[in-house]
A and B are shown apart, each in its own frame.
Chain A
Amino acid sequence: MSAATRKEQLYGFWGSVAELFRIALRAIMGSKMRSFLTTLGIIIGVLAVVAVVSILQGVFQSFLGQFEALGANTLFIRPNYEMFSDRREGVRRLKLTYDDAQAVAQQVPDVRAIAPMLFRSDSIAFRSRHDTTTIVGTTEAYGPISDVNMETGRFLGPMDVDSRRKVCVIGHDILDKLALPDQCLGTEIQIGRDTYTVIGVVEKLGGAFGESDDDRIYVPLTTAIQQYGNDAANQLILLVQVRDAAHMDSAVERISNVLRRQHGLKFGQTDDFRTFTQEEVLKQIKTFTNVSTLIVVAIVGITLVVGGIGIMNIMLVSVTERTREIGIRMAVGAKRIHVLYQFLIESVTLSTLGGVIGLGAGWGVSLLTVWILRKTVSPTFPAAYVPLWVILLSLGFAALTGAVFGVYPAVKASRLDPIEALRYE
């Protein structure tokens, strides 16, 4: 008995909602063209937002991807040139050496790998071709940390470093710069005054924004030191990979302590080196993303208000047209709240359907736009990307619009007098 009553009550609520939803769908599908036109404002609003956001997000994502390729578990350390107002003085007095790297690797258990890097700009030549590029002296550790993928050949190995071999791994752009033959492995090229054998070519990285890691040549650190001298060897950049990104902060602290000891810094003296984590860089990008999100939300708001007015307009017409229906429902026992919910759910359903259509159409438009941009502007233009929050935001706003602008017509319907409503012609 009581179970039956409870079941009845349970049906009472969800059953009523399902019922009203069914009634709403029938009314909407009963006049498809009109429903479509009613919700067109919502459709266009959501379409525009989804198209713009998905293209922007695609660009952001590829941007983020370039930083995240190094991983959240990596950090850079370089000499703290900002200590000196004159950078040349910094270059003269500051040191970050291979020994420092060794000390960090040995004394900080959080560190999985460390790749010292020596950067130099130098001239390169093959046969009659001359050019300049960035020479990166490093160790075999660089490959795994930076997740280097080889197009052909191999990356630097421990033997290359230990034996100071005159071998090099070239970035993709170098192939063009020096007009190297298709089978370039084993080819000898000039770097500065010395001759190096090409042992590998790194896969093209792309990089939509100017300076690219493709315009580089990697050589063994030991060989580079031999070529460029001890001054260069004292000004390394350390690329560090920690075991667990979650412990990044404590790792940074331990690394700092080791380097302070290595450099004989006393308590109170500023660090003569600086660390940069991916997190810091990413934070800046995300701030930018958040601002643009805010702008988008504002645009959604405005367009949906316009769409909402359209919905309210037609719902008011619809209430008038269906006065008789409202009267019939009231005569057979519909309470005011039933009529109110019926029209409210109808407008919410209508606007949400508009949101869904807008979402699909916006996605289509962004795919098309990217396709056109790839044909015309840049073949590597990043793919459009619709984050979940955009979907939820659009549908949420669309539904909310239907609710807000549906209230007035629904209240108007529910306040009708049954006799008047039945008499309405």
Chain B
Amino acid sequence: MTASGDTLIEARDLVKDYPMGESVYHALRGVSLTVRRGEFIAIMGPSGSGKSTLLHLIGCLDTPTSGEYVLAGSPVHTLAPDQLAELRNKEIGFVFQTFFLLPRANAAENVELPLIYAKIPPAQRHHMAMEALEFLGLQTHAAHRPNQLSGGQRQQIAIARALVNKPSLILADEPTGNLDSKTSENIMGLLVRLNQMGNTLILVTHEPDIAAYAPRQVRIRDGLIVSDELVGASGKGGGS
């Protein structure tokens, strides 16, 4: 049980530099962010703003050049690649713009993927995957491969995969970027529902109407947070 109000993410002065030949590219110039469990945040910004880099840091796919990042009590900035992998496995569920499903595996097997690396025995794994699929009403598609499914269904499978290991944080990177508006609405509705069930959600997007689903919006530009505001309860998208 996670009490609402607990701190899940504590990021302080995150800096990320990339060497670009002779010079250095400063992707993040000192970003601080605190996220409590149960929050739903949209991180917005144009391309090149550093939002992808921030997403990678929050997602434990990379470590900062300097600064501190604590996720669910783990000092991420001090961890080695394999420890990061373990943390991703336990604490984070990813939802990507292009779904990132394994083409040769069927829906259930795709959902099971994180559980393989969590060393959960096959029978239990399958059971958990089916539960997640049932939750999304996709149990009848368990044996289908990604190429037999629609875009919306694929993203739902990816969401099931993100949920299956009961992570502390669901990280969605432009989850509707490859979907039509009707399907986008469904997916966003699903994400809102997940948040209402207590899941912490961070959404990265450049589309204001998608960001509008989130009660807290963080704007980022040129590697710095330019605004971090609560805009009220999550509701239907559009101008707010």
Interface on A for B, CB 8 Å cutoff?
8, 11-12, 15-16, 19, 26-27, 30, 324-325, 327-338, 418-419, 422
> Is B182 part of the contact surface with A, judged by Cβ < 8 Å?
no
Q: A26-B104, A333-B89 are in contact. Are A8 and B113 (CB under 8 A)?
A: no
Whether A422 contacts B100 in the complex (CB less than 8 A), given A331-B94, A333-B117, A334-B117, comes out as yes
Question: Chain A's nearest CB lies how many Å from the CB of B144?
Answer: 16
Inter-subunit contact A16/B119 (CB<8 Å): yes
Q: Are B117 and A338 in contact (CB under 8 A)?
A: yes
CA distance A327 to B94 in the complex (A): 12
Complex: A26 Cα to B113 Cα, angstroms: 14
B89–A332 contact, CB under 8 A?
yes
- List 13 other contacts, CB 8 Å, given A11-B121, A332-B88: A19-B116, A329-B113, A331-B59, A332-B94, A333-B88, A333-B89, A333-B90, A333-B114, A334-B117, A335-B81, A336-B85, A337-B82, A422-B61
> For residue A418, which residues in chain B have a CB less than 8 angstroms away from its CB?
61
- Chain B's closest residue to A422 (CB) is B100
B62 in the interface (beta carbon within 8 A): yes
Q: Are B104 and A27 in contact (CB under 8 A)?
A: yes
Query: Considering the chains assembled together, what is the distance between the CA atoms of A299 and B118 in angstroms?
Result: 45
Q: Which residues of A contact B165 (CB under 8 A)?
A: 333
Is there an interface contact between A331 and B100, defined as CB atoms closer than 8 Å? yes
Across chains A and B, which 8 residue pairs bring their CB atoms closest together, nearest first?
Answer: A333-B89, A333-B117, A332-B114, A335-B82, A335-B85, A328-B100, A12-B119, A418-B61
Q: A15-B122, A27-B104, A332-B89 are in contact. Are A419 and B62 (CB under 8 A)?
A: yes
- Contact across chains for A324 and B121 when beta carbons are under 8 A apart: no
Instruction: Report the minimal beta-carbon distance from A61 to chain B, rounded to whole angstroms.
Output: 46
Query: Which A residues are CB-close (under 8 A) to B88?
Result: 330-333
Q: Is the CB of A332 within 8 A of B161?
A: yes
Q: Which residues of A contact B6 (CB under 8 A)?
A: none
Chain A residues in 8 Å Cβ range of B85:
330, 333-336
B86 close to chain A: CB less than 8 A: yes
Instruction: Report which of B62, B82, B113, B119 forms a contact with A336, defined as CB distance below 8 A.
Output: B82
Minimum distance in angstroms from B41 CB to a CB of chain A: 20
B window 53-77: CB within 8 A of A = 56, 59, 61-62
Q: How far is the CA of A55 from the CA of B18 in the complex (A)?
A: 64
- B79 partner residues in chain A, CB cutoff 8 A: none
For A8, what are the chain B residues with a Cβ–Cβ distance below 8 Å? 119, 121
Across-interface contacts of B62 in A (CB, < 8 A):
419
Q: Which residues of B contact A334 (CB under 8 A)?
A: 85, 117
CB of B136 closer than 8 Å to a CB of A: no
Q: How far is the CA of A330 from the CA of B94 in the complex (A)?
A: 11
| Residues of B with C-beta under 8 A to A15 | 119, 121-122
Question: B81: nearest residue on chain A (CB-CB)?
Answer: A336
Chain B residue at minimal CB-CB distance from A12: B119
Q: How far is the CB of B77 from chain A (nearest CB, A)?
A: 16
User: In the complex, what's the smallest C-beta–C-beta distance from B204 to chain A, in angstroms?
Assistant: 14
B190 at the interface (CB under 8 A from A): no
Residues of A within 8 A of B113 (CB): 328-329, 332
Which A residues touch B105, using CB under 8 A?
Answer: 26
Q: Is the CB of A333 within 8 A of B100?
A: no
Chain A residues contacting B122 (CB-CB under 8 Å) are 15, 19
The distance in angstroms between the C-alpha atoms of A342 and B81, with both chains bound, is 18
Smallest CB separation, B177 vs chain A (Å): 14
- Residues of A near B118 (CB, < 8 A) are 333
CA distance A422 to B104 in the complex (A): 17
Task: Give the shortest distance, in Å, between A160 (CB) and chain B (any CB).
Answer: 77
Would you call B143 an interface residue if the criterion is a C-beta within 8 Å of the partner chain's C-beta atoms? no
Taken residue by residue from 43 to 59, chain B's Cβ proximity to chain A (1 for < 8 Å, 0 otherwise) reads as 00000000000001001
Determine whether B33 belongs to the interface, using a CB cutoff of 8 Å to chain A. Answer: no
Interface residues of B in 100-149 (CB under 8 A from A): 100-102, 104-105, 113-114, 116-119, 121-122
Please, which residue of chain A has its CB at the minimum distance from the CB of B102? A325
Task: Give chain B residues whose Cβ lies under 8 Å from the Cβ of A332.
Answer: 88-89, 94, 113-114, 117, 161
- The answer to whether A30 touches B104 (Cβ under 8 A) is yes
Closest to A331 in B: B94
Q: In the complex, A8 Cα to B114 Cα: how many Å?
A: 16
21 contacts between A and B (CB under 8 A): A8-B119, A11-B119, A12-B119, A19-B122, A26-B104, A27-B104, A30-B104, A324-B100, A328-B100, A328-B101, A330-B88, A331-B59, A331-B100, A332-B89, A332-B161, A333-B114, A334-B117, A335-B82, A335-B85, A335-B86, A338-B117
